[in-house]
Amino acid sequence: MQSGAYDMSAVTLSGGLEGWRRRLVQDFSLKEPRRVFGTLKNLSIRTNILGATVGALVIVVITGLVGTIAVTGLNEAVERFTQRVNPKVEAVVAVERRVVAAAAATEAFILDPQEELKARADKDIRAIAEALDSAARAAEADEDKTLAADIETTRGQVASLSEKAAQAFGLIARDAELQQETLALGNKVLFEAQKYPKAVMDALNNAAMMDDLDALFDLNSEMAVMLEVDRQAAHLRRLESAYLVSRKEEDRLSLDAKVKEYVNLLGRLENSIDDAARTKMIEDTAKALAEYQALLDQLVANNEQLQATKQELTALASQAVDNMKAAVAKVTQGAALYGQASVEEGHANLLIMGAVILAAIILMIGLGFVNANVLSTPVQKMTRTMTRLAEGDLEAEIPATEYKNEIGDMAKAVEVFKRNGREQADMRAKEARQIEEREARQKKLEDLTNRFDAAVTGVLSTVTGAIGQMNEASTAMSQNAKTTMERSSTVSTATQEASGNVQTVVAATTELSASIQEISRQINHAASAAQDAVRTASSTNDKIESLAVKAQSIGEVVSLINDIAEQTNLLALNATIEAARAGDAGKGFAVVANEVKSLANQTAQATEQITRQISGIQSETDGSVMAIREIVAGVRGIEELTTTIAAAVEQQDAATSEISRNIEEAAMGTDNVASNIRDVASAAEETGSMASNIQSDSDNLKRESERLRGEVESFLGNVRGL
């Protein structure tokens, strides 16, 4: 019989067998539905199909037994269909199922690289070769060259699929290695970058301890770049994590841009640092970053190759599946033609088999309902669950996970998707918490900056007030120094005048001393004359003329003494005036001057008495000699008076010597006063110079404090702007 006839017969026969299978399954399920469903959901789709086929065969056998005689020819056609067509159908369907399973297992391993999934993918790929060998034998047995050619085409596609799967497995392993190396190098970059902020902070502390304002100002600008380096490093790690999780193109571009930006930042920082140690830290960071960028390029290239391989793998699997679907269609079409021929051949026996076929149809409907509940219902539930997962509902319950067939495997794969979605959601929540913590740290930094601003403002206000007070004090010192210099000049002039007056008094006192000595000599002479007068009283008459002459001389001496006394009185008066001008330094001199004045008055009184006595002598010289006794008595009085005058003159001489000595000491004192006044003037001049320097320094300090205030405000503004 021709192949077309066989195919037409196969169609009708297949329909009858399917009806009997459904009837059988329905009858069976009506008895023990729960046990049947529990058993069927643990069977693979292939087993269910084979079970349905076996059921159909059983129905056919029953139908054959019923119409053995009537349908002998139909039985022969069925036997030929079973031996030649059915094995081809089963073999081709098995190949298709193996290809689908291998593609699904390979894709599952790519999405979740676990050793168990890799072993399963390898097993499914090897099972395709076995299924292809079985299908080739069935095609050879039926002499179906078209199917044999399709099988060889599929074999080549499966070989390419196996090769691409091995390549994908290698790329996945390499991706895991590169990912670990990238994370390690990222940690190294972050570690190297974190050395620099610590070094800057140490330099700041050292500069602050040394009060090195220039270093502090230099490090202030470097600190802003330091904070940017730290922030960019942390941002780089976040972009790295985002790319390693998503492997999206936009995440990769963001990561590349951030790496380039970080490289440029390190270059600018390296050019602006003059410290060898910190420059070495930046160079080490740049070197680690270059290694990181090179490794990142390898990771991206490997991922791109993996994605391309995955697309090729999907295309090859799709081609193989499409090819096998076409082969299944061809085989099915041939089987249909073969069944149609068989039906035409056994058309005469249809009436006999009508009742049997009707029963078989009812049975197959029941079996179809059971298969629908076992296969279609879980698939529909799985579809709804996957829709909910796609909409972001990660709490959706995954159905059919207890199935031990392909549906159960699909449910487990969906469970993997759900678990990955939860991990991504947890990662997003973790990133949100990190953002909140970063904002909290930023707020804390702002609070610390405000407190630092208030403290520095208070210190600067205190320093500015102290500078103002210092400026006022220096101005007052300068004014006082000028006043002291002016007064010192006046006192120096007065001291010089006093010194001149003292020298004049010294000269006058010397002359007074000489006059007093002359008076003493004359008094001594008068005393001698008086003694001679006493001794020569008897010859007074003879010597009256001589006595008159001597009395005249005595009058002249007395006049001289009186003149000296008046001059001494005037000198004492002048000394008293000069002592009053000298103030405290002239008090002792004033006392001596008063004593000199008192002695001068006494001398004047004594000379007046002498004058009266001499006048008496002169008036009575021309008298009688009888007055000699009175003269002797007068002479004795004169002797007593001269003795008194001599004592007074000696006292006056001693006083004059004391006055001379005191005046010399006063002269030395005025010289010392003048020298001290000159020292005071020099010190006042130095004080004025120092006050001017203090005022200049206070002005400079005020300007520097204002500059410090500006720098602090700029620094705080930069910190707040971060």
What's the CATH number where 695 sits? Answer: 1.10.287
Portion of the chain with pLDDT greater than 70, in percent: 35
CA pair distance 193, 205, nearest whole angstrom: 20
Q: Does residue 280 sit within a domain? A: yes
How many alpha carbons fall within 13 Å on the CB side of residue 510?
7
410 CB neighbour count, 10 Å cutoff: 20
Arithmetic mean of pLDDT, 171-188? 71
Domain stops at, among 270, 286, 304: 304
542 CB neighbour count, 10 Å cutoff: 11
Q: What is the mean pLDDT of the chain?
A: 67
CA pair distance 698, 520, nearest whole angstrom: 74
Same domain assignment for residues 693 and 555: yes
Output the CA angle 350-351-356, nearest 5 degrees: 80
567: its two tokens:
């001059």
Q: What is the pLDDT of residue 155?
A: 75
Same domain assignment for residues 285 and 352: no
Tens digit of each residue's pLDDT (9 = 90 or more) over 301-323: 777 777 777 777 777 777 777 77
Q: Does residue 165 sit within a domain? A: no
Least confident of 227-236, 387-396, 644-653: 644-653
Arithmetic mean of pLDDT, 160-183? 72
Same domain assignment for residues 358 and 261: no
**Domain span holding position 261:** 180-304
Same domain assignment for residues 380 and 455: no
Q: What is the pLDDT of residue 639?
A: 61
Name which residue leads in pLDDT, 53 or 670.
53
Name which residue leads in pLDDT, 536 or 11.
536
Q: What is the 3 state secondary structure string of 643-686?
A: HHHHHHHHHHHHHHHHHHHHHHHHHHHHHHHHHHHHHHHHHHHH
Arithmetic mean of pLDDT, 169-184? 72
Arithmetic mean of pLDDT, 686-704? 69
Arithmetic mean of pLDDT, 322-331? 72
Arithmetic mean of pLDDT, 548-566? 62
Tens digit of each residue's pLDDT (9 = 90 or more) over 416-435: 877 887 788 788 888 888 88
Name which residue leads in pLDDT, 639 or 657.
657
Contacts of 234 (CB under 8 A, 6+ apart): 190
Same domain assignment for residues 610 and 676: yes
Place of tokens 């392909």: 406
Q: Does residue 223 sit within a domain? A: yes
Domains of the chain: total: 3
Same domain assignment for residues 614 and 478: yes
Is the pLDDT score of 405 beyond 80?
Answer: no
Secondary structure tally for the chain: helices H, strands E: 16, 0
Contacts of 129 (CB under 8 A, 6+ apart): 155, 158
Q: Does residue 143 sit within a domain? A: no
Q: Does residue 309 sit within a domain? A: no
Tens digit of each residue's pLDDT (9 = 90 or more) over 628-655: 556 556 656 666 666 766 666 566 666 6
Does the pTM exceed 0.85?
no
Tens digit of each residue's pLDDT (9 = 90 or more) over 73-123: 556 655 665 666 677 777 777 777 777 777 777 777 666 666 776 677 777
Same domain assignment for residues 582 and 677: yes
Residue 296 pLDDT level (bands cut at 50, 70, 90): confident
Q: Does residue 397 sit within a domain? A: no
Same domain assignment for residues 287 and 374: no
Arithmetic mean of pLDDT, 140-145? 73
Same domain assignment for residues 296 and 365: no
Residue 174 pLDDT level (bands cut at 50, 70, 90): confident
Tens digit of each residue's pLDDT (9 = 90 or more) over 458-514: 766 776 776 666 667 667 666 765 676 666 566 567 656 656 665 665 566 666 666
Q: What is the pLDDT of residue 434?
A: 83
Is the pLDDT score of 408 beyond 70?
Answer: yes
- Burial (Cβ within 10 Å: 0-12, 13-18, ≥19) of residue 49: middle
Arithmetic mean of pLDDT, 23-28? 46
Is the pLDDT score of 413 beyond 70?
Answer: yes
Domain stops at, among 280, 304, 328: 304
Q: What is the DSSP letter of 393?
A: -
Is the pLDDT score of 695 beyond 70?
Answer: no
Is the pLDDT score of 327 beyond 50?
Answer: yes
Q: What is the DSSP letter of 400?
A: T
Same domain assignment for residues 363 and 459: no
How many alpha carbons fall within 13 Å on the CB side of residue 265?
21
Same domain assignment for residues 382 and 517: no
Q: What is the pLDDT of residue 580?
A: 62
User: Of 66-70, 339-343, 654-658, which one has max mean pLDDT?
Assistant: 654-658
Portion of the chain with pLDDT greater than 90, in percent: 0
Same domain assignment for residues 513 and 639: yes
Name which residue leads in pLDDT, 173 or 71.
173
Residue 341 pLDDT level (bands cut at 50, 70, 90): low
